[in-house]
Every structure is written in structure tokens, then in C-alpha cells.
Amino acid sequence: MDLNLLERTNPVFNTAKMTLFQMAYAGNEDAAKIAQLIGLQQEKELAEYEPEELLNNTIVLETRFRTMGALAMQSGCGTMVDLPCGYTPRAIEFAGKGLRFVGLDLPAAIAQAGPAITSLIDRDRQHLVRFEGVDATNYPSLKAVFDEIPGDVCITTEGLLMYFTDSEAGQLCDNIRQILLSHGGCWITADPETTIQYMLTARAFYGERFMEVVQKGKNRVQNKSDVSINTRTLIVNPMNAKEGIENAMRFLASHGLRAERVIVGQHAPELEILKRTTAEKAETIRNAMMQYAYWKMTPIAGKQLDTTGTAGESFSMKAEIAGETMTIQLQGRLDTLTAPGLLSFYEKTAAEHPISEVVIDCTRLDYISSAGLRIFLIMRKSSKNGVRVRGVNAAVREIMEQTGFDSILNLEE
């Protein structure tokens, strides 16, 4: 495997490597063993950092890693699902406590990390752990894994959203909401206030020099991302935190998710890395933890919409709205006779509810005419975030390709 190519095409891979290296630097023996088994050279990577910068970054990392693990355990859910799981030793910790763990990441990362991590778990507990390769923005990819997980789930995300555009983040939110509605449980992420955490930790550690360090860290992240780190709605800008938090929560609500801020300082375990600094700085850093939060999300139950009058002998539909996202499930034939009913339903609903995005499920749609496709186009033009069409079978896709609508609409597998 060419690790350089993997990192260049998937910048999150670099985050995964550095998380492993910094956990080893913090004194986690399992992290050091994983790095050795995989053949990752942490000395070269860590040498790029000045000693103080490395210590500051590791404080942020260990706080995030250990607190997120503690919150997942406190959730009481039957299975923890780490997305992305990277190369961290979390599976070893959970299996050691007799808890089920599923690690999800890029297939190439899973192929490398999964066997190494599993080999460090006692044989009689290896059945508690699974690793699967997925695409987080592809719902069928995620659903195939979650369909095999019994009971409720706690999904955790660290260091992923900063690499996603708003469109990709919205797709992830929709996917996770659907999974949580099916399974029960919650989604916990450290990402929205990660920049605030970094800034407050740097201020506690560096004093007046903290902005210099923050800018250096920002440049490192920006160099790994194709997206400007100041333009993502789910990543809160510390310079305007109150408005940023409100905007992020509105974004989540528009995708059917309710967010709760969990203050880190109330849940963070004792950190090994703080033993490397002075007692005074350690106390200042602990105080800083009371000023930022990780976020716990649960799904907002969608409101079922009345579709009376849209059904016929060859066509029927169901619809719901959650936040500002309307989901429509179509069945049968959407043609010249049935398309007017769909248009009437959409316009009536849009007049009563704010709709920023429409998700159209075509899993049970047998046929679509140009009249039906025009309704999709009308929805796309009148919805701020457009239309996503999923579950398109071969027959319907062929029609869309022949008419050129496959290049206009956002088609998902």
C-alpha cells in the first residue's frame, strides 16, 4: 500500500496517523504497539513539531480521545461505532471492558489497521470487535454495516467534519439520522468546537504567544484540506462563537438532528500528558476545559405528511419532513397522469413548511416520464440545497441518462 498516495487522496488519513503517534507520545502503550505493527515511523512525523507545539497538540488530542471514549461508555448504548476509527487503540479499551466496538474507516485504512489492532485483543474477546470499510457519505455503504449491529448504537466522530464541505456534512447528517431512527442511540462528535478547544488550550499553555501557535496549527490543517476551514457551518469560528454555535445547531436541525453541548471539563478523565507540564499549567488547562463542549446529537422524529389525493392505480407515495428536509418515497409510475399530484403536494407543503432540501427515494419507482423529471427540476430550483435522488434502479437511471437529467440531479446509489 502506498501510504503517500492514501494521504494525498484522503487527507483524513493524516489525522489518523497523527492521532496514533500522539497517543503513543502521551504514554499509551497500545498506540505504540499498533504503530510498530503497521510500520508507521512516528519519529519522522513528530520531528516536524517543536517540543512545545507537540505537547500542546497532544494535550488537545488526549483530551478529545479519552473524553469521547468516556462519553460513549456513559451513553449506555450496546455498541460503540467509531467513524472514522483510524488507527487508535479504542477497540482494545472497549473489548477489555467487555463492550462491543465497530470501527469504520476508509477500506485501505481498515485493511491495514484492523488486523493489527485485533491481534492485540485477547482471543476470548476478539468477537466483540469488528472493522469495516465504508464511505461515510454513502448511505447504502453505512446501512450494510449497521444492519448487522443489534440494538442501539453510540456513533462517535473525531477530526472528520473539518475535511467535509457543507454538502458532504449534510449528507453525513442525513445518513446518521436514518441510522439512529432505525437503531436508537446517539451521535457524539468533538468537531464543532475543535478550533475553540485548540485556541483555549494554546492560551492556557502559551499565554500571550497563543495566537502564533493557533495560526501554525490552522495552517497545518488547511494544507491537508481542499476546503477553507473558515467556511464550514459545522466548524465554529472562535472569533464569533455564539453565532457560530447557533448556525451549526440550525444546520443540524435542518437535517433532523437535535444537538446538546456537553461541557468537556465535567467529563474529562485525568490525562497522562499533563504529567509532562507544571501543576500550574495543568490546572489552567483543566479550567479551560470548562469553556468548550463536545456535541451529542439525537434524531428529531420526522412529521409524517398527508399525501391523500396523490395516489392512483399505478402510483403512491409517502413523505415526511424533519427540520427543513423533506423526504419523499415514490412507488410505481411517475408519469403524465401522476406527476401533477406530486407537484401539487410539493407546492402545498412548501407553502406551509420551510424546505431547504428534498430527498427523493426511488427504490420502488418503476418508471418516470419527462413530466415526472420536470417535477424533480422544479423542486431543485425552489430548494436552497437542491434535490438528492437515491435508490435509482437501472430502468429509471437509463431514462435519466437519455434525457440528461443524470447530470442535473444529485443521484446517489
Q: Are residues 103 and 192 in the same domain?
A: yes
Q: How far apart are CA 390 and CA 130, in angstroms?
A: 28
pLDDT tens profile 167-184 = 889 889 989 998 999 999
Verify that 260 and 310 share a domain, yes or no.
no
Burial 251-287 (b: 16+ CB within 10 A, else e): bbbbbbbebeebebbebbeebebbebbeeebbebbbe
Per-residue pLDDT at 227: 45
In a shared domain, residues 311 and 284 = no
Is it the case that residue 241 has pLDDT exceeding 70? yes
Give dist(CA 212, CA 210) in Å, integer: 5
Asked if residue 312 and residue 240 are part of one domain, the reply reads: no
Looking at the predicted structure, is the pLDDT value of residue 221 above 50?
A: yes
What CATH number should be reported for the domain holding residue 101? 3.40.50.150
User: pLDDT tens-digit profile of 289-340?
Assistant: 999 999 999 998 888 899 988 888 899 999 999 888 899 999 999 999 999 9
**Mean pLDDT within 356-385:** 92
Residue with cell 507537540: 54
Our count of domains for the chain comes to: 2
Q: If we measure between CA atoms, which residue out of 107, 104, 156 comes closest to residue 9?
A: 107
Q: What pLDDT was estimated at residue 276?
A: 87
Q: What are the strands of the beta sheet with 315-322, ordered from one edge?
A: 303-304, 315-322, 325-334, 357-368, 387-390, 410-411
pLDDT digits (tens, 9 = 90+) for 211-220: 766 666 556 5
- In this structure, what are the phi and psi dihedrals at residue 387, rounded to the nearest 5 degrees? -125, 135
User: Higher confidence at residue 317 or residue 413?
Assistant: 317
Nearest to 372 by CA among 340, 404, 406, 346: 340
Q: Are residues 353 and 333 in the same domain?
A: yes
pLDDT in tens, 2-31: 555 545 445 555 567 778 888 888 889 999
298 in helix, strand or coil?
Answer: strand
Query: Which residue range forms the structural domain that includes residue 405?
Result: 303-411
**For the chain, what percent of residues have pLDDT higher than 70?**
89
Do 344 and 206 share a structural domain?
Answer: no
Q: Do 324 and 253 lie in a common domain?
A: no
278 and 331 in a single domain? The answer is: no
- Domain-ending residue, one of 299, 327, 348: 299
pLDDT value for 46:
65
Residues 104 and 193 in one domain: yes
**In the predicted model, is pLDDT for residue 149 greater than 50?**
yes
Domain boundary among the residues 299, 334, 368 is at 299
| Alpha carbon of residue 242 to chain centroid | 22
280 and 399 together in one domain: no
Same domain for 280 and 346, yes or no, is: no
pLDDT over 80 at 404, yes or no: yes
Q: Could you give phi then psi for residue 235, rounded to 5 degrees?
A: -110, 110
Query: How far apart (Å, rounded) are the C-alpha atoms in residues 69 and 264?
Result: 12
